[in-house]
Amino acid sequence: MPELPEVETVRQGLLPAMEGHVIQQAVLRRADLRWPFPVNMEARLSGARVTQLRRRSKYILADLDCGESLIIHLGMSGRMVISGLNAPFVPGAFHFDHPAVEKHDHVLFHMDNGARVTFNDPRRFGAMDLCATAVLDAHPLLARLGPEPLGNEFHAAYLADQLAGRKTAIKTALLDQRIVAGLGNIYVCEALFRAGIHPARAAGRISASRIATLTQTIRATLREAIEAGGSSLRDYRQATGEMGYFQHAFRVYGREGAACVTPDCPENVRRIVQSGRSSFYCAACQR
């Protein structure tokens, strides 16, 4: 489900419920997601205060005052939903004022401000882990991530260096989290359309000036999507329950057969499959 803009939107939505607040009780309703939960996860989380809620790539990182950080990945279908924020907190009465626990609600965080944060993930491609904050950067899930696309380390010269000599399609290269972290299928398609680059073009055969344009379209697309609260496909919601609305701004993603949005362009949006994922593009506007 979520790419960088959706994860960032979820993080921002979770701030009032979690940052600075104590996890009164964490409840696991099954033993695993993609992998088994870390040992004693309920006990290690319960009573810990969230000092900071951060994001790295598509991961939400909750730094705890016990010296550990909770790593959360939403996979394809993961959601974090808040209920009961600012409701009176009654120890032992966590169910009060909250909706019934539903199928696929795998983890519950009962906060000291009365909020319940519910992690729901039908497909269970999501993951959670605990790691000492001091060595978080070395965690296997985080250690090999490339730079943040909205950060200073991501720029034209960096991207050109990473793509140089690569025969793989630019679409596939941009989905490689080691090159740039946080992009997914939607925003790669959208950024390539804006840059006028065909998704199947060999990554190593793009001119420096077009790579410079690409870095800018990646950043602009992500910024606009965050501003719009992410994209709501199917039943994706923000942590607050609101819908994102960037899906209305898609120029190619999910628009197979529809007219290209470029004025006077006679082409329709096409779909091809690259390494198992759909790519949407305009054959006239993207070369």
Question: CB–CB of 83/116 below 8 Å?
Answer: yes
Per-residue binder mask for DNA (CB under 7 A), 174-203, x = binder: -x-x------xxx-----------------
Question: CB–CB of 160/69 below 8 Å?
Answer: no
Task: Assess 38 for contact with DNA (CB under 7 A).
Answer: no
Task: Assess 104 for contact with DNA (CB under 7 A).
Answer: yes
Site for DNA, residues 120 to 149, rule: CB under 7 A: 122-125, 141
Return the C-alpha torsion angle 269, 270, 271, 275, nearest 10.
Answer: -110
From the CB of 88, what's the least distance to DNA, in Å? 33
- Among residues 11, 55, 58, 255, which one is catalytic? 58
Between the CA of residue 5 and those of 50, 110, 262, what are the distances in Å? 22, 26, 24
Q: Where are the alpha helices (DSSP H) in the chain?
A: 4-18, 41-45, 156-163, 170-175, 185-195, 208-227
Which residues are bridge partners to 22 per DSSP? 49
Q: Of the ranges 20-28, 44-52, 150-158, 171-179, which one interacts with DNA (CB under 7 A)?
A: 171-179
Task: Assess 84 for contact with DNA (CB under 7 A).
Answer: no
For residue 133, the 8-state DSSP code is: G
From the CB of 52, what's the least distance to DNA, in Å? 21
Cβ-based nearer residue to DNA, 111 or 128: 128
Q: Of the ranges 14-22, 44-52, 224-232, 259-267, which one interacts with DNA (CB under 7 A)?
A: 224-232
Number of residues that bind DNA (CB under 7 A): 41
Task: Assess 118 for contact with DNA (CB under 7 A).
Answer: no
Q: Exposed e or buried b for every residue in 135-165, given b needs 16+ CB within 10 A? A: ebeebebbeebbbbbeeeebebebbbebbee
Site for DNA, residues 239 to 258, rule: CB under 7 A: 244
Cβ-based nearer residue to DNA, 19 or 176: 176
Question: CB–CB of 80/74 below 8 Å?
Answer: yes
From the CB of 112, what's the least distance to DNA, in Å? 29
Task: Assess 155 for contact with DNA (CB under 7 A).
Answer: no
Alpha carbon distance 206, 208 (integer Å):
7
Q: Which residues contact 110 (CB under 8 A, 6 or more apart)?
A: 23, 24, 25, 26, 27, 94, 116
Quick check: is 171 catalytic?
no
Could you say which of 166, 201, 219, 270 contacts DNA (CB under 7 A)?
166
Q: Which residues contact 45 (CB under 8 A, 6 or more apart)?
A: 23, 26, 64, 70, 109, 130
Quick check: is 3 catalytic?
yes
Alpha carbon distance 125, 184 (integer Å):
15
Could you say which of 1, 117, 159, 260 contacts DNA (CB under 7 A)?
1
What is the contact surface with DNA in residues (CB under 7 A)? 1-3, 6, 34, 57-58, 73, 75-77, 103-104, 122-125, 141, 166-169, 172-173, 175, 177, 184-186, 230-236, 244, 275-278
Point out the residues that are catalytic: 2-3, 58, 277
